Amino acid sequence: MPTDEDVTRFVEEGFVRIPGAVPRATAERCAAELWEASGFDPDDPSGWTKPVVRLGGMGTAPFREAANTAVLHAAYDRLVGPGRWTAPLGLGTFPLRFPSDEDPGDDGWHVDAGFSGAGGEYRVDAHSRGRALLMLFLFSDVGPDDAPTRIRVGSHLDLPPLLAGAGQGGRDWFALCQEAAAISESRPEAAATGAAGDVYLCHPFLVHAAQRHRGRVPRFLAQPPLVPVGPLDLSGTAPTPVERAVLDGLGVR
């Protein structure tokens, strides 16, 4: 589970990597199912004709096991708080990225939405309704050239002022992403590299982006939310690490 140092880094930088959070054998079972669902042959690179293939949720046993290891449950408790999250029933979505010179068309800086508004539009509010964490599950080894997710370090602290005063309805996701990308532009950048089975637990307000695959081995990743039980408590009373970061962004702690 995250150490005290990991928790401090999470609050300040917006993410922490949990090496080997998923046993490699489980990660390989998940990868095999993703290959089958993709329609591509892992032994025939000539057939990898798209830069990215997106798959929806997967609830088979390997994915349920991957999302609910003892290590991850302890980490969820440490960052979000005991009883403050819902155990995942599976994982998804999956952006599977393949080596390609083609623009993937989805590599803009953004934050992930939390909930749908009355009109079906995506929205985000200061209490992070609908999303306790952004999680990145690596189901392949990911090096610097293998389209690792790009992260703007500390950018989660830029979001709270943009959400302050928006109320329970929050803000429109698309407009918020545009502002978040601009305001976080000077932040240092990190790449979510690692081995199959590593998991990045990220603050829900972290600004991140995809990128083109320049390597040789396809990158398999799940990017699900950890669903919260209730909104963030921003009263300042015994805040969790996720809540502490929001309060720091607001400058009120």
What average pLDDT does the structure give for the chain?
Answer: 97
What's the domain count of the chain?
Answer: 1
Residue 231 · residue 161 · CB < 8 Å: no
Q: pLDDT above 90 covers what percent of the chain?
A: 97
122 CB-near residues (< 8 Å, 6+ apart): 113, 115, 116, 172, 173, 174
- The answer to whether 204 and 225 are in contact (CB under 8 A) is yes
Tell me: the pLDDT tens digits for 77-105?
A: 999 999 999 999 999 999 999 999 999 99
Rounded to an integer, what distance in angstroms lies between the CA atom of residue 181 and that of residue 62?
35
Confidence tier at 1 by pLDDT (50, 70, 90): confident
pLDDT at 252: 85
pLDDT interval class at 253 (50, 70, 90): low
Is a pLDDT exceeding 90 seen at residue 71? yes
Closest CA to 226 of 54, 68, 26: 68
Q: Which residues constitute the domain of residue 246? A: 4-250
Q: Dump pLDDT digits (tens) for 158-181.
A: 999 999 989 989 999 999 999 999
- Rounded to a whole number of angstroms, the distance between the first and last alpha carbons of the chain is 25
Comparing C-alpha atoms, which of 184, 81, 91, 181 is closest to residue 134?
A: 91
pLDDT tens for each residue of 45-69 = 999 999 999 999 999 999 999 999 9
pLDDT at 239 over 70: yes
H runs (alpha helix) in the chain? 4-13, 24-38, 61-67, 70-80, 159-163, 173-183, 241-250
pTM of the model: 0.97
Q: Which CATH number fits the domain that encloses residue 29?
A: 2.60.120.620
